[in-house]
Amino acid sequence: MLEGLDPEQRAVATSLRGPVCVLAGAGTGKTRAITHRIAYGVHAGVLQPGSVLAVTFTNRAAGEMRGRLRQLGVAGVQARTFHSAALRQLQYFWPKAVGGGLPRIIDRKVQLVAEAAAACRVRLDRGELRDVTAEIEWSKVTQTVPADYAAAARAAGRETPRDAAEISQLYGTYEDLKRHRSVIDFEDVLLLAVAILQDRHDIAEQVRGQYQHFVVDEYQDVSPLQQRLLDLWLGERDSLCVVGDASQTIYSFTGATPDHLLDFRTRHPGATVVKLVRDYRSTPQVVHLANGLLAQASGRAADHRLELVSQREAGPEPHYSEYTDEPAEAEGAARRIRDLIASGVPASEIAVLFRTNSQSETYEQALADAAIPYQLRGAERFFERPEVREAGAALRGAARFGGNDSLLDDAVDLPSQVRAVLSTKGWTPQPPAGSGVVRERWESLAALVRLAEDFSRARDAATLGDLVAELDERAGAQHAPTVEGVTLASLHAAKGLEWDAVFVVGVAEGMMPITYARTDEQIEEERRLLYVGVTRARRHLHVSWALSRSPGGRAGRRPSRFLDGLRPGSTGSATRVGPLGHGGVEPGSGRAPATAAPAARRRVRTPARCRVCGRTLTDAGEMKLMRCDDCPSDMNEGLYTRLHDWRAAQAKESGQPEFCVFTDRTLVAIAETAPRDEGSLARIPGVGMRKVRGFGADVLAICAGEEGEPGVGDR
């Protein structure tokens, strides 16, 4: 269970007692660490599979966790979203706690909100209807009742889409309509679970008797309501492992907050804290840009940022492109995508990420014009597609009666059986030409074929019946297989995913950060959103923006401020100085960490950081310049020339090589810094007090605009 884990991941896997907080940067293998932790605990006899509840935020992540645990030989662990875990408990305990069956859960609350607006004689357009619905959802996850909405929204600094008192009235009417119709919504699942566990101690004890150990992934996205439910599950125990990254907090508008993650050590003083910073996903070039984005961040989340260290071989530099308008930007992305596919990058390993869903249409058209297959993330659910339902029915029938079906006579293994069955539904070994409905149908069936191949490799003796059971489980969790096509997704929808090549488009002021982000907190969340987009890329990263929205429009846009000092030719903004998270383990002591006396404190050496982009410097030459080689220089060319001539004269007089006076890089560093006194000169790497005593007077005179005379210094 521990083979192949790095030291920090191994620390996560073996820390099985007491509270554990894992601060995991993007691409650092957090899912691997926590699944191996559960598996190691089970195989070591410390954890019982049925007593572990692992919760995360998406069905896909929960499905992936279950799959990995199965591969590690662990069955019986409950890996679910907060909502599915709460719903399962509600369905079981509702007859005992309330009586009767659980009320029906409405799929979409927008229609009911529209009815509430009509009842209140309030007219809402489509956009306002969506925004008011979002405000109701925020209210519920922050445990705000209708009467308190206006005050809570004001305290949270929310910009309400309508008058706060009006939204409060709509919210109250919406709740009344639900009660009259005996229905509940998505957020009610959590609220009702909390209510039952609070009011019925016997039920709470029964749940706590079932679940002894908890793992929470993406802990930076926990809402106050979810934290309340987690506290009730835990009771007075502390067998809890949380995993998160404050720099990936991008859902605060829904009520999510990183405070629970950042305050974990305060709430659990004896907690073990493990920091994962080894990035196995992205190349050093991608990681460099990601670190540079966070280096300029501010706020509480930035105080706990993690400096990623790439573990991959070097790759191409991020590519930056400026276009005249958005259609030209989309066409440019399509051309580059076509080149990547031609070079061997699968279409399913390419993504186009944008800030708002409204940007999607332009890219759909550009990809269609280039005959490049694509899929929209967040569109129709995979298992609800007609061809997938038909295929599932055909596979189910073949699993039941396949022994009498001549279609399977020549099928020697599970993948060939699936190919034979799906060939009757339109699957062919080669994809159809062009795009459109026929191609989309084929892509869905091809995804099922690939799933069968992967499933067969993971389970040698798997049967068609086993695959059908796997499909049923995936359908219930909406854990769809990969479809062969370029992914189009919003930056929010891309969270938790990764691709070989990523195109982050529309990175211009007004879109990134978005126009309505006005406060410092909102601006910083936009920065984190771009960081999430950048860290989705494994190898190829393309960042682009357009100067106008449409052809012929006024070219009034400028690249996002977040790229200042990072993209070639841009001027760097001031680098933020603050605490930095490096990999390591802080063992739990069972009590609050003692504060060392000042005299006993170990001196911590501050890492050298680029004064332009803020990246940590490890190369000696770059440390001498105090900037990355590829960051723009602000060197005084005239001063450098004078210093260069002076060095040549000094070397000639002393009969030694020029680098013995000062190296080229040290001369560049002096020309960039232009020191005015001996202290400033001595602090430049490569100078030091010995050379200040020998050459200081000459160098300072040249920097002051005077002509230094060779031989003045007493060497």
Contact present, 49 and 42 (Cβ < 8 Å): yes
Burial 546-571 (b: 16+ CB within 10 A, else e): bbbbeeeeeeebebbbbbbbbbeebe
Per-residue pLDDT, 477: 59
Distance between CA atoms of residues 1 and 494, nearest Å = 30
Whether residue 278 has pLDDT greater than 90: yes
| Rounded average pLDDT over 324-353 | 94
Whether residue 290 has pLDDT greater than 60: yes
| Rounded average pLDDT over 6-11 | 92
Per-residue pLDDT, 124: 83
Q: Which one, of 491, 508, 493, lies nearest residue 320 by Cα?
A: 508
Q: Supply 345's token pair.
A: 């990058």
Distance between CA atoms of residues 422 and 590, nearest Å = 58
- The band of 576, judged by pLDDT with boundaries at 50, 70 and 90, is very low
515 annotated ligand binder: no
| Rounded average pLDDT over 558-564 | 93
Residue 698 to residues 651, 663, 678, Cα–Cα distance (Å): 14, 16, 11
- The band of 373, judged by pLDDT with boundaries at 50, 70 and 90, is confident
Whether residue 596 has pLDDT greater than 90: no
Whether residue 259 has pLDDT greater than 50: yes
Does this model's pTM top 0.75? no
Whether residue 712 has pLDDT greater than 60: no
CB-count burial class (<10 Å; 0-12, 13-18, 19+) for 163 = exposed
Per-residue pLDDT, 598: 36
More confidently predicted of 184 and 709? 184
Per-residue pLDDT, 669: 85
Give the right CATH number for 7-90+193-276 from 3.90.650.10, 3.40.50.1220, 3.40.50.300, 3.40.50.970: 3.40.50.300
Strands, E, within 550-698: which ranges? 584-586
Residue 27 to residues 3, 40, 306, 533, Cα–Cα distance (Å): 19, 22, 12, 12
Whether residue 617 has pLDDT greater than 80: no
Strands 272-276 and 309-310: unpaired
Cα torsion angle, 119, 123, 129, 131, sign: negative
More confidently predicted of 624 and 458? 458
Q: Supply 477's token pair.
A: 């969790």
| Rounded average pLDDT over 546-558 | 84
31 annotated ligand binder: yes
Q: Supply 399's token pair.
A: 């699993």
Contact present, 668 and 625 (Cβ < 8 Å): yes
Per-residue pLDDT, 3: 83
Distance between CA atoms of residues 274 and 5, nearest Å = 14
Rounded to 5 degrees, φ, ψ at 267 are -75, -30
| Rounded average pLDDT over 28-56 | 91
Contact present, 59 and 268 (Cβ < 8 Å): no
- The band of 601, judged by pLDDT with boundaries at 50, 70 and 90, is very low
- Residue-wise pLDDT tens digits, 379-398: 545 677 788 889 989 998 88
Alpha carbon distance, N-terminus to C-terminus of the chain: 63
* Torsion-angle region of 255 (φ positive above 0: left; ψ -120 to 50: alpha; else: beta): left
Q: How many CA atoms lie within 13 A of 55 on its CB side?
A: 24
What percent of the chain clears pLDDT 90, i.e. is strictly above it? 38
Per-residue pLDDT, 217: 93
More confidently predicted of 281 and 521? 281
Contact present, 308 and 280 (Cβ < 8 Å): no
Contact present, 623 and 685 (Cβ < 8 Å): yes
Whether residue 592 has pLDDT greater than 50: no
| Count of beta carbons in the 10 Å neighbourhood of residue 601 | 9
Residue 471 to residues 81, 338, 455, Cα–Cα distance (Å): 19, 32, 10
- The band of 34, judged by pLDDT with boundaries at 50, 70 and 90, is very high
Whether residue 599 has pLDDT greater than 50: no
- The band of 440, judged by pLDDT with boundaries at 50, 70 and 90, is low
Strands, E, within 297-395: which ranges? 309-310, 319-325, 350-354, 374-376
Contact present, 30 and 24 (Cβ < 8 Å): yes
Least confident of 39-53, 138-152, 650-664: 650-664
Rounded to 5 degrees, φ, ψ at 158 are -80, 140
Whether residue 439 has pLDDT greater than 80: no
Per-residue pLDDT, 510: 87
Most confident of 204-208, 365-369, 547-551, 555-559: 204-208
Distance between CA atoms of residues 160 and 212, nearest Å = 41
Coil vs helix vs strand at 676: coil
Domain ranges of the chain: 7-90+193-276, 104-181, 294-380+484-563, 382-477, 620-704
Q: Are the folds of 294-380+484-563 and 620-704 the same?
A: no
Distance between CA atoms of residues 571 and 573, nearest Å = 7
Per-residue pLDDT, 270: 85
Per-residue pLDDT, 611: 66
Whether residue 459 has pLDDT greater than 60: yes
More confidently predicted of 357 and 405? 357
Q: What DSSP line would sit under 415-452, residue for residue?
A: HHHHHHHHGGGT--SSPPSS-SHHHHHHHHHHHHHHHH
User: Using alpha carbons only, how large is the chain's radius of gyration in Å?
Assistant: 30
Cα torsion angle, 246, 247, 251, 252, sign: positive
Contact present, 295 and 614 (Cβ < 8 Å): yes
Distance between CA atoms of residues 213 and 210, nearest Å = 9
Give rounded-to-5 percent helix, strand, coil for the chain.
Answer: 50, 10, 35
- Residue-wise pLDDT tens digits, 293-304: 998 888 888 888
Residue 624 CB partners (closer than 8 Å, separation 6+): 663, 665, 666, 669, 684, 685, 686
Q: What DSSP line would sit under 41-67, residue for residue?
A: HHHTTSS-GGGEEEEES-HHHHHHHHH
Distance between CA atoms of residues 555 and 558, nearest Å = 9
Per-residue pLDDT, 173: 94
- The band of 450, judged by pLDDT with boundaries at 50, 70 and 90, is confident
Q: Supply 360's token pair.
A: 């999607």
| Rounded average pLDDT over 111-125 | 89
- The band of 174, judged by pLDDT with boundaries at 50, 70 and 90, is very high
CATH 1.10.1270.20 fits domain 620-704: no
26 annotated ligand binder: yes
27 annotated ligand binder: yes
Per-residue pLDDT, 706: 66
Enumerate the H helices of 268-350 as residue ranges: 284-295, 300-303, 326-342
More confidently predicted of 626 and 54? 54
81 annotated ligand binder: no
Least confident of 196-200, 561-565, 672-676: 672-676
Give the bridge partners for 490, in sequence order.
354
Whether residue 710 has pLDDT greater than 90: no
More confidently predicted of 333 and 582? 333
Distance between CA atoms of residues 116 and 134, nearest Å = 14
What percent of the chain clears pLDDT 70, i.e. is strictly above it? 87
**Domain 294-380+484-563 carries which CATH code?**
3.40.50.300
Most confident of 486-495, 649-658, 690-699: 486-495
- H/E stretch holding 168: helix 164-181
One-letter amino acid at 304 equals: H
More confidently predicted of 409 and 83? 83
- The band of 506, judged by pLDDT with boundaries at 50, 70 and 90, is very high
Instruction: Give CA 393 to chain center in angstroms.
Output: 36
Whether the bond between 513 and the residue before it is cis, its omega within 30 degrees of 0, is yes
